[in-house]
Amino acid sequence: MKQKSVFVCQECGYSLPKWVGRCPDCGKWNTLVEELKVSSRPATGRRGVANESQRQPQPITDIQASEQERLESGIEEFDRVLGGGAVPGSVSLIGGDPGIGKSTILLQAAERLSQKYGTVLYVTGEESATQTKLRAERLGIKSPALYILCETDVDAIERHIVKLSPAVVVVDSIQTIYNPNIQSTPGGVAQVRESTAALTYIAKSQAIPIFIVGHMTKDGSIAGPKVMEHMVDTVLYMEGDAYHVYRILRAVKNRFGSTNEIGVFEMRETGLVEITNPSEMLLSERQEDVSGSVVVPIVEGSRPILLELQALVAPANFGTPQRTANGVDRNRLALLLAVLDKRAGFHIQNSDVFINIIGGIQAAEPGVDLGTIVAIASNFRNIPVDAKTVILGEVGLGGEVRAVYQAEKRIREAAKLGFTRAIVSQYNLRSLKIKEDIKILGVRTVNDALNIVL
């Protein structure tokens, strides 16, 4: 068996015979790490060529398809993101910043699944059994069917899975797992790729759902080769601000469900608690009769959420005016300020402008454009917006207010929470069929909306 040294990019997996400062494939700097590459290695057999009698081409009309029964954890927000529960044989990758709650939510889900479906195996490569036990006690987890395994060898993990035959497996984390046939350190591109492939084979062959925890890089993506995300069935991201209690579990890939669903949780001392009505929670501390505060409805998947958007306009006393945006895109804010100046006559380009969405929620959709403009104008003129009004609409460069999708669902959520007036695009009025007791006003331009609220 011959071995040679190669330099592998830890971002994309590109290999070179010698070290260079910048990866020629992905363009990242200082990502090449030396690894020992085995030119030939014995086949393990389990991932080799399958028996020809087992896999034969067959007409699609002859294939019997049946809906697989999902394993539901009982944590409604967690199951919602998965598409209704874990599918047998599926592999789910969950990433997020350190301390965001990845291990916490999986440990809580593992206990619920063990109580309902029997044995669940939790493989930890980062903590000892004692450390995991201490965390479980803090979360109030006491299920005797939840097994803890401290192991990093993927072959040993497979032997334990075959022997224990669990209903669900959790691996925390993929960066600590290694394949003994690969001569490189755990966490490297080759190890992460091969370990993920091995776990995927185990899940498919044993029909066991496997959840894998992945670390995050500085640019916010899951560490390891990009091909790892293509190998798994579901990719989930745990989002949230370290200084806020709210956490969002978002699916960015899901072969068995929608990629638009989110789960909302609150971080407490006893773990993550699901929030079934996030709108009510996010608006619970809102102060009325304060200029610069508006309520904007957004849609995440099939769920409408009402957010409080705050704006503050102050004189710029030190050179270049500041533009600070929390929860909305900073470039979008600059565009809206230009529209407000050019189309509505609000000369605030020489003022500092600060935008914040309460709760640390990110509102990336353009449906919050009109609400952002109204909040800025409200604070600039120091005129409060009616506390029972919600505002939604996309704003174009000509100052026109464009329609947003699923407006009816947003307005119904607002009516359910006691709001009495909604300002929307005139073009949304054509398709609205609202029976709830809420007054709907259609506007064509930014000036129309400002004349109503101010």
pLDDT (tens digit per residue) in 59-86: 988 887 766 789 999 999 999 999 999 9
- The residue type of 192 is V
Q: Are 393 and 402 in contact (CB under 8 A)?
A: yes
pLDDT (tens digit per residue) in 368-379: 999 999 999 999
What is the rounded average pLDDT for all residues in the chain?
88
Q: Is the pLDDT of residue 297 over 90?
A: yes
Residues in the chain: 454
Spatial CA neighbour of 104 closest among 307, 266, 316, 280: 266
Compute CA distances 259 → 103, 182, 238, 252, 254, whole Å.
22, 34, 14, 5, 6
pLDDT value of residue 54? 58
Spatial CA neighbour of 281 closest among 305, 297, 300: 305
User: What is the sign of the dihedral through the CA atoms of 270, 274, 276 and 281?
Assistant: positive
pLDDT band at 3 (very low <50, low <70, confident <90, very high): low
Cβ atoms within 10 A of the Cβ of 364, count? 12
What percentage of the chain carries pLDDT values higher than 90? 62
Peptide bond preceding 114 in cis form (omega within 30 of 0): no
pLDDT band at 2 (very low <50, low <70, confident <90, very high): low
Q: Are 266 and 246 in contact (CB under 8 A)?
A: yes
More confident residue, 200 or 48: 200
What percentage of the chain carries pLDDT values higher than 70? 94
pLDDT value of residue 1? 47
Q: Is the pLDDT of residue 48 over 60?
A: no
pLDDT (tens digit per residue) in 379-420: 999 999 999 999 999 999 999 999 999 999 999 999 999 999
pLDDT (tens digit per residue) in 198-239: 999 999 999 999 999 998 876 677 777 777 888 999 999 998
Ramachandran angles phi, psi of 50, nearest 5°: -80, 160
pLDDT (tens digit per residue) in 241-294: 777 788 989 999 999 988 878 899 999 988 999 998 889 888 988 988 899 999
Query: Per the confidence metrics, is the pTM higher than 0.75?
Result: yes
